[in-house]
């Protein structure tokens, strides 16, 4: 695999980021960027999305499952919820997410998985248009 140039990596990253997170989310993130955090937006677009998420060896579904498990284990709630929503674009099923959370319970701890299950249920209810009470 040839080494991508920075511009290529940014273009690929933006395409992958949009495919996974959706145009609306990416457009909001871009519009909210300031001079202060613009370099960070460029970094994650090129490194996370243009390099790691764009590699050919795993599907977006597989990367989605691993990402969700890691975010749950680390307790990164906002990013976890974002990536649960992204499953609509990656093809990761709710069964995939359940299995990932079972792994989190064993390898990262029951409290982390318990919290992740609660968050995932809330996000799935929002995605399904169910009333939140």
Residues 129 and 79 in one domain: yes
Residues 23 and 64 in one domain: no
How does residue 3 score in pLDDT terms, banded at 50, 70 and 90? low
Whether the per-residue pLDDT at 4 is higher than 70: the answer is no
How many structural domains compose the chain?
A: 2
Distance separating alpha carbons of residues 62 and 80, to the nearest angstrom: 15
pLDDT tens-digit profile of 70-91? 999 999 999 999 999 999 999 9
95-111: burial string, b at 16+ Cβ within 10 Å, e else: ebbeebbeebbeebeee
Instruction: Give the model's pLDDT for residue 7.
Output: 75
C-alpha separations of 72 from 30, 56, 92, 124 in Å = 25, 25, 15, 15
Which among 12, 36, 56 is the end of a domain? 56
Phi-psi region of 75 (alpha: psi -120 to 50; beta: other; left: phi over 0): left
Residues 38 and 64 in one domain: no
51-82: burial string, b at 16+ Cβ within 10 Å, e else: eebbeeeeebeebbbebbbbbbbeeeeeebbb
Instruction: Give the model's pLDDT for residue 60.
Output: 97
Residues 111 and 132 in one domain: yes
Residues 6 and 52 in one domain: yes
Which among 56, 74, 101 is the end of a domain? 56
Whether the per-residue pLDDT at 1 is higher than 50: the answer is no
pTM of the model: 0.89
Residues 13 and 52 in one domain: yes
pLDDT tens-digit profile of 6-45? 679 999 999 999 999 999 999 999 999 999 999 999 999 9
pLDDT tens-digit profile of 88-98? 999 999 999 99
Distance separating alpha carbons of residues 32 and 7, to the nearest angstrom: 22
Residues 41 and 89 in one domain: no
Residues 133 and 74 in one domain: yes
Instruction: Give the model's pLDDT for residue 130.
Output: 86
Residues 39 and 96 in one domain: no
Which among 11, 33, 56 is the end of a domain? 56
Residues 62 and 126 in one domain: yes
Q: Which two tokens stand for residue 18?
A: 């949009």
Residues 2 and 19 in one domain: yes
Whether the per-residue pLDDT at 47 is higher than 60: the answer is yes
Half-sphere exposure of 29 (CA within 13 A, CB side): 18
Residues 74 and 127 in one domain: yes
Range of the domain at 9: 1-56
Distance separating alpha carbons of residues 11 and 126, to the nearest angstrom: 31
133 compared with 82, residue with greater pLDDT: 82
């Amino acid at each position: 695999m040839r080494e991508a140039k920075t511009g290529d990596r940014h273009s690929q990253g933006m395409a992958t980021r949009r495919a996974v997170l959706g145009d609306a989310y990416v457009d909001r993130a871009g519009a909210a960027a300031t001079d202060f955090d613009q370099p960070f937006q460029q970094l994650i677009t090129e490194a996370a999305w243009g390099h790691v998420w764009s590699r050919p060896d795993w599907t977006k579904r597989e990367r989605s499952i691993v990402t969700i498990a890691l975010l749950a284990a680390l307790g990164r709630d906002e990013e976890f919820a974002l990536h649960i929503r992204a499953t609509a674009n990656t093809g990761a099923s709710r069964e995939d997410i359940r299995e990932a959370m079972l792994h989190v319970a064993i390898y990262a701890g029951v409290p982390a998985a318990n919290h992740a299950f609660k968050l995932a249920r809330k996000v799935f209810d929002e995605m399904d248009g169910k009333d939140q009470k």
